Structure 1
Amino acid sequence: MAAPPSQRPRAPGRDGDAEEGGAGISVVSRVVAVLRAFAEGGASVSIKDLSEQVGLAPSTLHRLLDQLVAAGLIDRTSARRYRVSNEFSRIGALAARKSGVLRLARPVIQEVTRRTTETCMFGMLLPQTLTMMFIDKTSSPLPMPYTVRMHQARSLLWGATGLCLLAWLTPPEVERVLGRGERSPVDGHTPPDEAVLMQRLAEIRARGYALTRGEQTHGAVGMAAPVFGAGRAIIGDLCITLPQSRFSAADEGRFAQLLIQRAMELSRLNGHLPGPRPAG
């Protein structure tokens, strides 16, 4: 004979499951609330901040965060704080492949490759970790002696694609990136000092694009122009990469003009209104 409803075992995580600070809320709902708080919040948060924001008891949050850390979605930092992981950002970028920004970018990068015969990518800024990731590309029909790594978090300190994004971030964000001390992926050199970096970023903003040789990949030239969103903040960049042996002085002006024009077009399609970025 079946047990009365009150005596039947209840599956963990069901909506009726009561837990301290989260009675009547499913485990999935609690996890979603926590991840949303991280995605919408600052660089890192404390248990106290999360408790106030999502309305869950610290003991409940400790258990959830332990599981999210074990799953690789959240990183535990010093001073009892937490932040999103590179894996969290990677998943978000992969999801963006189905979003409007990618649908808008796809024909643009295809056109750039068609007109230059070189590989073109769309690089997306990952604002929570202040890194970037290539989320789409069209490949050159010409030989390429190196591979462009897709859907992997990359430093903003090295290479045209990262520096282009860094140039339009706020000074505190630039300081945060520089403070991580990320070494060159090519030769292991330490980052430049702050004054040198700031001067370089100012030059990138002045000409409207970044150009580097062999900084992210040995033997490669990179060029990138910024793409902005509706909030006037930078969201990504339009990039070209090619072997240095195939790059001439005449190419720089031609490629730069095309990248800037198409990046501006992509910014407008994403709702960008030209003007200064709001302070914050």
Structure 2
Amino acid sequence: MTREDRSTPAYRERNSTADRALEILGMFTEDRQVITGTDVVDQLQVVKSTAYRYIQSLQSYGLIEEAPARSGFRLGPRVFELARIARQGLGLSEVAEPVLRALAGDLRETVLLTRRSGTQVICVERYESPTPIRLSYERGQVLPVNAGASALVSLAWAPEKELERVLAEAQLTPLTKRSTADAEQLRKRLGSIRDQGYVVTRGEVDEFVVGVAAPITGANGSVIAGATVVGLEQRLSDERLPDVVERVRAAAENVSRRLRELAS
């Protein structure tokens, strides 16, 4: 089979038909959920028979269907199926981006999206603080599994067998004097984190840096990532922390809800 010559009239006609079909689909809006054949004639500036040929083609693919009482045409079931597939194709980063970027702007602090891979925690995305002071957390950076809010929130909800495997295989090295390097102490701490639903750390990865993290759950309810605010201790004071905790938890739940909606 030879490739069709794009200069042929047959190719141009099919290409033109596709353009017109997409233009018809683009006529639907939130305020215009039903269109008529006359609407299509006016939009495309074609004769009625041509307009209905395009309409029938879209109907045959289930992209539009006749509206009740023959009042016109509305989007068909195939559009909703395609929308569902498109939503499921969105990844964690795409879903979390608007929520966590807004959180960084509201709090004026750096926000991280992290997830655990085995015995390591990866910084998936970083949403920068608008303040002039910058922190040394970068996208793709590998973080220790036993220190810092991002790591602990990713590990706290791990299944028991997985947690034991991680604790046995990971190098629990203290990065600062505030890091937890003892496996038994770490188990107890993770239990406390699960009970309260979030974690606050001080100076465990970098001196004078506070982290506040909350878990992000996937469609099946298991924790798949963490949302973390990181900032200098002088900015994340004890007086400010309760508000920061509530905002981080709300943002993590917002992302979790969006992920559940995409899977439904």
Q: Deviations over 1:13-65 (max 9, x none)?
A: xxxxxxxxxxxxxxxxxxxxxxxxxxxxxxxxxxxxxxxxxxxxxxxxxxxxx
Report sequence identity in percent. Answer: 27
**Could you tell me which of 250, 255, 260 is aligned with 1:266?**
255
Residue number in structure 1 paired with 2:219:
230
Q: Which has the higher contact order (CA 8 A, sep 6+)?
A: 2
Structure 1 runs (4+) deviating above 3 angstroms are: 186-190
Judge conservation of contact 1:157–1:177 (CA < 8 Å) in 2. no
Q: Identify the residue that residue 122 of structure 1 maps to in structure 2.
A: 113
Change (3 A) 1:214 1:190: closer
Superposed CA offset, 1:116-135 (max 9, x none)? 11111111222xx2322111
Normalised by the size of structure 1, how large is the TM-score?
Answer: 0.57
Q: 2:246 corresponds to which letter in structure 1?
A: Q
Structure 2, unmatched stretches of 5+, are 1-88
- Report how far residue 223 of structure 1 moved: 0.8
Shift of 1:181: 3.0
**In the alignment, which of 77, 94, 97 is matched to residue 106 of structure 1?**
97
Matched, 1:144 2:133: yes
Distance 1:190 1:102 in 2: 29
Match of 1:216 in 2: 205
**Deviation, structure 1 residue 199:** 1.9
1:156 aligned partner, one-letter code: V
* Partner of residue 184 from structure 1, selected from 168, 174, 185: 174
2:157 is the alignment partner of 1:168: yes
In 1, the alpha carbon distance for the partners of 2:146 and 2:236 equals 23
Deviation at 1:244, TM superposition (A): 1.1
Q: How high is the TM-score relative to the length of structure 2?
A: 0.60
The answer to which structure has the higher helix fraction is 2
Matched AA of 2:241: E
Cα gap change, 1:213/1:173 in structure 2, threshold over 3 Å: closer, same or farther?
A: same
User: Against the structure 1 CA distance between its residues 119 and 190, is the aligned structure 2 distance closer, same or farther, given a 3 Å change threshold?
Assistant: closer
Q: How many residues align?
A: 173
For the 8 Å contact 1:144–1:242, the answer to whether it is kept is no
3-state SS, counterpart of residue 111 of structure 2? strand
- Find the aligned partners of 1:181 and 1:249 in 2 and give their Cα distance: 31
Structure 2: distance between partners of 1:202 and 1:188: 18
For structure 1, which segment, 135-144 or 219-228, has the greater mean C-alpha deviation from structure 2 after superposition?
135-144
The unaligned stretches of length 5 or more in structure 1 are 1-97, 273-280
Cα root mean square deviation, aligned: 2.3
Larger radius of gyration: 2
